[in-house]
Amino acid sequence: MTRPYLRAALGVLTLLVLVPAAAAGQDAPRTPWGDPDLQGTYTNKTITPLERPEALGDKVFLTDEEIAEQEQARVQRNQDLLEAPPRRTVAGGNVGGYNNFWLDGGTRPTNRTSLIVDPPNGRLPARTADAAARKAAHDEAYPVDGPFDSYEDLELNDRCLVWSAGPPMLPSAYNNNFIVLQTPTHVVIYAEMIHDTRIIPIDGRGHVPTSIRQWHGDARGHWEGDTLVVETTNLRKTTANAGAVGGDPILLRMANGRSDDTLTVTERFTRSGPDSLHYEFTIDDPTHFTQAVSGEFPFTAFPADELPFLFEYACHEGNYSMTNILGGERAQERATDQP
């Protein structure tokens, strides 16, 4: 099922966005009203992991040869999986994951060994003692393998509520494309994943009251030179599973678990070339992590004459995982109850 209301909204916004114009004497392209022009269709897919593998120690950067080797290995792996005979549960470990035909996580790494750049070890910082206790209680109450007594026991992505549209905008296994639109007062980021749309005011207005929580938080943007800075607060917490599989690898919504939350996600978007944006993020939550965590990686634009369409992601409309998981749990209970 299509989503005509989103298409209509994007159509209106598109009418508001005029043809980009490069200001004379300036390197970065500018909108007709003078802001840096970030508009375009981008992908953020990369095979670089969020955290640096422990075996790499303090190695921060890859050599050109290592980048080429990793890319070739991923290309070969994709080809091998594509040509392999279907074998249920092998690729990805999920029932129905016959091969990686539906996956599109890219083949090329960045020049770094992790998306995380701070802490310097490229890994998530330690949790506070209170956060560790909350996570232990959460994991005991909501084990990843069930039992699934109701829809509330399932991941947020199983429930089609939150995936990886941001913040932060981390690469996923597929649907890694975005459209960036601008007006004088707003920046809009339209995500291929579940077609989430982040509408970010840049007109100086303040955040909504802390009592108002939203799945993607309350975002406010401003310009620092040629960089768009987006600060997001008011992320909605969940007492059920925090969407750790695919949707929220940093467990932001689990971090947002106290009445005195100070969780803030800051993102920075900078035009780094005619076909790229430099993306940075910082997660600051002293109630959850012992220090802030930051990362960076590129967004690559599709050429204007090769713009892809964004695949429809009919998540709610075709969400069989809910009924299948809950139905499977009921079937398992019946089998267990039988003598």
Collapsing DSSP to helix, strand or coil, 330 comes out as: helix
Residue of 169, 42, 62, 76 lying closest to 110 (CA atoms): 62
Give the alpha-carbon dihedral of 182, 235, 176, 37, to 10 degrees. Answer: 20
Q: Are 114 and 51 in contact (CB under 8 A)?
A: yes
Nearest to 221 by CA among 195, 198, 202: 202
Strands 227-233 and 264-273: what pairing? antiparallel
Helix (H) or strand (E) holding 85: none
| 165-214: pLDDT as tens digits | 789 999 988 889 999 999 999 999 999 988 889 999 999 999 999 889 88
CA 30-35-39 angle, to 5 degrees, is: 65
Sequence-ordered strand ranges (E) for 205-263 = 218-224, 227-233
**110/297 Cα distance (integer angstroms):** 7
Average pLDDT over residues 305-321: 76
Encode pLDDT of 15-53 as tens digits: 333 333 333 334 779 999 999 999 999 999 999 999 999
